[in-house]
């Protein structure tokens, strides 16, 4: 059933259907095709770079002697001097056959990194390769303060302490578990949202993706995202959670360069005084399930809908989709990891196509 690229195998849908039939007929003879056995990904290029940041001088501290590697030779480390801080990491994958009108920039949420968009915690295909396979040039970043962007001394440079999350915290806060005290160390005792699409059996792997976060680096993060878009050029921006705020604010700062904004479960909005700047930026906002069962999300969703309304009142175009209202149920805050992530990605892909942003 393997389909050689560029031969007449019919549509992807057709192939999937015939594969199913074939599998049903021969299930005892061969292993069924997994997501990993999909068509090859052909890249015209891939790579990475850092953007943005600034230099900061620190002075008046004592020199240390550090043996970096046991058995190595001690080196003097003078902590006084100039530090490079607040840069951001960007990794890009450019498809051989491009079908996106603009590159797609993926901006993860708080306490996480670009890993958000990669393979799901239970090993299925994530949105990075979903959109890459659809022909989008994908730029996936680790924002200021985390992942491959690095982080800076606090409180000297970063102004607050970092926040570390227990294994229980995202379970109860990301609408995976059914509210406070839904988490238990024993997976069998966890109270999962009824009908949840989150791959709860791989929750431990999701927790491994978490990184410490600060609450005082928003301006630096926005500056780095602006540096990214200034470098990459006109782009479509896809944000999640914390980066909802960054996406709206960067689009307000660079309305000529943000050609569309897709906000997945935005935790915060842009500058209400600058909605006018967004009137020519097509915007899609997507919310998952269980919002009414959560203590914080009704207010956060209401803020997003009100912001959308104010953009529309200024002449802009915003589509707000509550997934349960279009028949897609069970989504947690981590929509891109949920078991129906391809279905939601397909909804976004369809929106991009209807907006004329594919080629």
253 vs 357, which CB is nearer to a copy of itself?
253
* 283-287 vs 318-322, strand pairing mode: parallel
Specify the DSSP element, H or E, that contains 240.
strand 235-240
Stretch that binds a copy of itself, among 189-197, 212-220, 256-264, 328-336 (CB under 8 A): 212-220
Residues touching a copy of itself: how many (CB under 8 A)? 87
Q: Is 233 in the site for a copy of itself (CB under 8 A)?
A: no
What part of residues 244-303 is at the interface with a copy of itself (CB under 8 A)? Answer: 244-245, 267-269, 296, 299-300, 303
Sheet holding 81-95, edge to edge: 81-95, 138-142, 104-107, 235-240, 258-264, 283-287, 318-322
Asked whether the beta carbons of 203 and 121 are under 8 A apart, the reply is yes
Place of tokens 């238990």: 184
209 binds a copy of itself per the rule CB under 8 A: yes
Kindly report whether the peptide bond that precedes residue 155 is cis, defined as omega within 30 degrees of 0: yes
Name residues whose C-beta falls within 8 Å of residue 178's C-beta, 6 or more positions apart in sequence.
191, 192, 193, 194, 293
Taking CB under 8 A as the criterion, which residues in 37-76 touch a copy of itself?
Answer: 38, 40-50, 53, 55, 64, 66-73, 75
Q: Contact between 182 and a copy of itself (CB under 8 A)?
A: no
Chain positions 298 to 337 lying near a copy of itself, rule: CB under 8 A, are 299-300, 303
Q: Is 78 in the site for a copy of itself (CB under 8 A)?
A: yes
Site for a copy of itself (CB under 8 A): which residue of 10, 164, 187, 194? 164
Give me the least distance between CB of 354 and a copy of itself, in Å please: 29
Residue 110 in the binding site for a copy of itself (CB under 8 A) = yes
31 binds a copy of itself (CB under 8 A): no
Report if residue 81 touches a copy of itself, rule: CB under 8 A: yes
Phi, psi values for residue 17, rounded to 5°: -65, -50
Considering only residues 122 through 151, tell me which ones interact with a copy of itself, judged by CB under 8 A: 123, 125-126, 129, 142, 147-148, 150-151
């Amino acid at each position: 059933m393997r389909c050689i690229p560029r031969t007449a195998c019919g549509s992807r849908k057709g192939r999937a259907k015939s594969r199913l039939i074939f599998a049903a007929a021969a299930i005892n003879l061969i292993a069924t095709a997994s997501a990993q056995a999909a068509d090859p990904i052909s890249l015209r290029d891939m790579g990475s770079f850092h953007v943005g940041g600034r230099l900061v001088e620190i002075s008046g501290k004592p020199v240390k002697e550090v043996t970096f590697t046991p058995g190595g030779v001690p080196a003097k480390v003078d902590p006084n001097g100039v530090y490079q801080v607040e840069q951001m990491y960007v990794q890009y994958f450019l498809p051989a056959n491009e079908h996106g009108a603009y590159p797609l920039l993926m901006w993860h949420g708080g306490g996480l990194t670009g890993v958000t968009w990669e393979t799901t915690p239970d090993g299925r295909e994530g949105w990075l390769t979903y959109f890459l396979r659809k022909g989008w040039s994908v730029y996936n970043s680790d924002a200021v303060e985390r992942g491959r962007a690095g982080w800076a001394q606090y409180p000297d440079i970063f102004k607050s302490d970092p926040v570390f999350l227990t294994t229980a915290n995202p379970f109860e806060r990301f609408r995976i578990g059914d509210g406070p005290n839904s988490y238990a160390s024993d997976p069998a005792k966890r109270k999962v949202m009824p009908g949840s699409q989150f791959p709860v059996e791989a929750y431990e792997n999701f927790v491994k993706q978490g990184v410490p976060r600060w609450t005082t680096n928003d301006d630096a993060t926005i500056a780095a995202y602006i540096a990214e878009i200034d470098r990459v050029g006109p782009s479509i921006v896809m944000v999640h959670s914390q980066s909802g705020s960054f996406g709206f604010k960067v689009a307000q700062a660079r309305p000529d360069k943000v050609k569309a904004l897709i906000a997945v479960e935005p935790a915060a909005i842009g500058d209400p005084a600058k909605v006018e700047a967004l009137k020519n930026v097509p915007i899609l906002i997507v919310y998952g399930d269980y919002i009414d069962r959560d203590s914080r999300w009704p207010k956060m969703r209401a803020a997003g809908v009100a912001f959308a309304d104010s953009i529309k009142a200024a002449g802009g175009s915003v589509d707000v989709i509550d997934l349960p209202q279009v028949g897609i149920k069970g989504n947690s805050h981590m929509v891109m990891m949920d078991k129906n992530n391809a279905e939601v990605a397909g909804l976004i892909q369809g929106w991009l196509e209807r907006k004329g942003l594919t080629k």
